[in-house]
Amino acid sequence: MLGALLIFLCVRAFLIEAYRIPSGSMTPTLLVGDWLFVNKLIYGPHVPFTDVTLPGYAGPKREDVVVFVSPAQIDQPQDPTPTLVKRLWGMPGDTVYMRDGTLYINGGARPQGPAFALFDPTDPTASHPGDVSPDFDWQKPIGLRASRFGPAPAQPTHDDWGPIVVPPKSYFMMGDNRYNSKDSRFWGFVPRANMRGRPLFVYYSYDPDAGLDYFRAITEIRWSRIGHWIH
């Protein structure tokens, strides 16, 4: 029994771990109620209760979906460093910015595809294009005053900010559902040391808004999601 427990703990700590999607920030790639297996070995597993990260077999790449520990979020002191899943857009040295809701990386546009949600003014939970938040103020000291992409606005907004340059060993993350995602626009760059892995596939999924409260996990299973590979 003890040996089996030790094997389980080692696998969970260094190889594969389960992760539940709690919000719609990655819709439609990932849905609330999806449960994922996460490959912790790819970027190098983090040794629990230490600052040590072991070597991995691949580095993070642009457009990877990544599980990571969030930089400190000062507006939620009850849980300032949650574990999140977002898509990696800005690599070290990249210049990133947004104009009229379109993300640009080194001058190249990265608009949302047709499958992804655009701004819906009837959605009470959605961020608005011109939203201003104290959470954007971290960008002000590092916004480029002069660049070939133009100057950074004095006041960053949800849809117009930057250009800013991603520092070494850091990454810029955004949710696929850009108007319902709290991401690097709000709390800044993600250090390489915060990377925890890359999701593999959905092993279980249910609709948390359908059916009866205590039976949803059984009666509202999304069978078509099970086995869905994440990319």
In the residue annotation, 25 being an active-site residue is answered as: yes
Report the phi/psi class of residue 178: left, alpha or beta, with left for phi > 0 and alpha for psi in -120 to 50.
Answer: alpha
* 111 DSSP assignment: P
From 25, 70, 127, 184, active-site residue: 25
194: helix, coil or strand? helix
Residue partners of 62: CB distance under 8 A and separation at least 6: 88, 89, 91, 105
**Catalytic entry in 23, 40, 61, 86:** 86
Going by C-alpha positions, the residue among 44, 32, 37, 1 that lies closest to residue 16 is: 37
Q: What phi and psi, each to the nearest 5 degrees, are found at residue 4? A: -65, -40
Is 86 a catalytic site residue? yes
What's CA 195's distance to the chain center, in Å?
A: 11
Which residue in 116, 69, 98 sits closest to 161, CA to CA?
A: 98
Return the active site residues.
Answer: 25, 86
